Amino acid sequence: MKPLILPVLCAVLLTGCSASADVLGGGPSASPSAPASAPAPQITVSVPDGATEEAPDTALRVTATGGTLTSVHAVPADDGESKAHVAVDGKLDAAHRTWTASRTFSPATTYIVHATATGPDGQPTTARSRFTTLAPKRANRALLGPLDGQVVGVGMPVTLRFDHPVANKAAVEKRLTVNTTPHVDGSWGWVRDPLTGQERVDWRPANFWQPGTRITVTAALSGVDTGNGRYLPRDLSTTFRIGTSRITRVDLAAHQMTVSENGRTVRSLPISGGGPATPTYNGTMIVLDKVPAIRMNSQTVGLGDAYDLNVKWAVHLTTSGTYLHAAPWNAARIGNTNASHGCIGLTTRDAHWFYDHVRPGDPVITTGSTGRTVKAGNGLGDWNLTYPEWKQRSAL
């Protein structure tokens, strides 16, 4: 067995001799220590990770300490599958150390914040945070018009109607953008319908639109608090175009109405307006809509049992019930006497012609009445204010 032990002992001795040589300095020299790495940047998200019931109009802020921010994204966890859930953009400060959200968040939505910062050594650091906005107990809803792709008359304003009154008008107006081709200056103005009480904000230029103008409206309203915790649920947008300049002028004293297209008179028609007790409004009314037949009952406008009629070729001018329509029962008065309950009556043939030619947004301008001027909120009466008066109705 001894021959087997000797090689093992020799190996141990050789190993020991090699170790002794290093200690004595006969081996290789020691390598220098590596420099300490720079500390990674610290990324802070103002909304705590995992927060719930966060206000949609919270002011989200992301900051970097010991580095600069290179990217920040705040996106819905559903990756935008729901059109009501909006991604949130923001702005970096000049030093690229603070990112601030530039809009509100969608209610009842989970958001994920991804942030990347770069340290002095050029190495990136990432952070991820997740939070959920509250589901409001009360909401407000808005309807934007005209409809997307619609062609309208030269008097049609942009309209944004609300289910409930808006207390935070400036907060809403700041989120609205109007772009026109060609460029047109204009202003938002707040109005309330005197009959229904519905509140809306309209945008109109100083004068009627030019035919062919293209208008795109963006309302980034998702998460905006309209007041008293009534949040708007979604963004809205529309693009529409201005068609033929068709303007109707009604002279109630002369019992005549003139229709012009692009500055050229195309038809003059006899009419009968409102009688002495119920005169037609003076001022500019804008065609709201039209129907080939409608039942008109005086009880719906507070006139008792004065009439109950099936009316043809009805063009709607005010929410208080002013129409321009066929009035065969007044045939003997058309062209010489004002005898209606406030509407503008024509012969059936003329009313049919007008119905076929007119479109929503066309102005109907009435003069010569003993009645009042139509209020701005009654239908689309915005044009009854001068442009300086209109601009005063903006909240900004």
Q: Residue 383 pLDDT > 70, yes or no?
A: yes
Higher pLDDT, 82 or 362: 362
Domain end marker among 208, 243, 278? 243
Closest by CA position to 286, among listed 201, 209, 372, 186: 209
Number of domains in the chain: 3
For the stretch 248-266, pLDDT in tens is 999 999 999 999 999 999 9
Looking at the structure, tell me whether residues 54 and 151 fall in a common domain: no
Contacts of 4 (CB under 8 A, 6+ apart): none
Residue 196 lies in a domain: yes
3-state secondary structure (DSSP) of residue 203? strand
Contacts of 223 (CB under 8 A, 6+ apart): 56, 57, 86, 103, 104, 105, 106, 107, 133, 231, 232
- Determine the residue type at 193: D
C-alpha 16/C-alpha 166 separation (Å) is 90
Domain end marker among 98, 132, 166? 132
Residue 6 lies in a domain: no
pLDDT of residue 13: 28
C-alpha 136/C-alpha 344 separation (Å) is 46
Token digits for 235?
């963004």
Looking at the structure, tell me whether residues 375 and 294 fall in a common domain: yes
Domain end marker among 116, 132, 148? 132
Q: What is the DSSP secondary-structure string of 208-230? A: PPPTT-EEEEEE--TT-B-STTE
Cα–Cα distances (Å) from 70 to 66, 93, 114, 119, 278, in that order, read: 13, 12, 11, 10, 68
Token digits for 168?
């935070």
pLDDT of residue 288: 98
| Contact call for residues 216 and 155 (beta carbons, < 8 A) | no
Instruction: Let me know if 341 is a catalytic residue.
Output: no
For the stretch 269-312, pLDDT in tens is 999 999 999 999 999 999 999 999 998 876 666 667 666 788 99
Q: What are residue 249's DSSP bridge partners? A: 258, 365
C-alpha 274/C-alpha 292 separation (Å) is 22
Instruction: Let me know if 10 is a catalytic residue.
Output: no
Looking at the structure, tell me whether residues 277 and 176 fall in a common domain: no
Q: What are residue 133's DSSP bridge partners? A: 54
Contacts of 193 (CB under 8 A, 6+ apart): 199, 200, 319, 377, 378
| Contact call for residues 217 and 178 (beta carbons, < 8 A) | yes
Selected catalytic residue, list 73, 325, 352, 357: 325
Looking at the structure, tell me whether residues 257 and 380 fall in a common domain: yes
Looking at the structure, tell me whether residues 225 and 270 fall in a common domain: no
Residue 117 lies in a domain: yes
| Contact call for residues 350 and 255 (beta carbons, < 8 A) | no
Residue 263 lies in a domain: yes
Token digits for 323?
């129409």
Token digits for 218?
């963006």
pLDDT of residue 104: 97
| Contact call for residues 157 and 208 (beta carbons, < 8 A) | no
Token digits for 384?
């009854």
Closest by CA position to 150, among listed 87, 95, 88, 216: 216
C-alpha 35/C-alpha 218 separation (Å) is 54
CATH classification at residue 290: 2.40.440.10
CATH classification at residue 115: 2.60.40.3780
Q: What's the DSSP call for residue 342?
A: S
Residue 176 lies in a domain: yes
Looking at the structure, tell me whether residues 295 and 371 fall in a common domain: yes
- Report strand pairing: 110-118 vs 124-132: antiparallel
Task: Quote the domain boundaries for residue 146.
Answer: 138-243
Ranking 79-93, 161-175, 382-396 by mean pLDDT, the lowest is 79-93
Cα–Cα distances (Å) from 295 to 48, 292, 385, in that order, read: 59, 11, 32
Higher pLDDT, 282 or 195: 282
For the stretch 8-47, pLDDT in tens is 323 332 233 333 333 323 334 444 444 556 789 999 999 9
CA 148, distance to chain mean position in Å, is: 13
For the stretch 55-104, pLDDT in tens is 999 999 999 999 999 999 999 998 656 677 899 999 999 999 999 999 99
- Segment 224-239 shows an average pLDDT of 96
For the stretch 102-124, pLDDT in tens is 999 999 999 999 999 999 999 99
Q: What's the DSSP call for residue 119?
A: -
For the stretch 309-338, pLDDT in tens is 889 999 999 999 999 999 999 999 999 999
CATH classification at residue 145: 2.60.40.3710
For the stretch 112-163, pLDDT in tens is 999 999 999 999 999 999 999 999 999 999 999 999 999 999 999 999 999 9
Looking at the structure, tell me whether residues 152 and 103 fall in a common domain: no
Selected catalytic residue, list 164, 343, 352, 357: 343
Residue 120 lies in a domain: yes
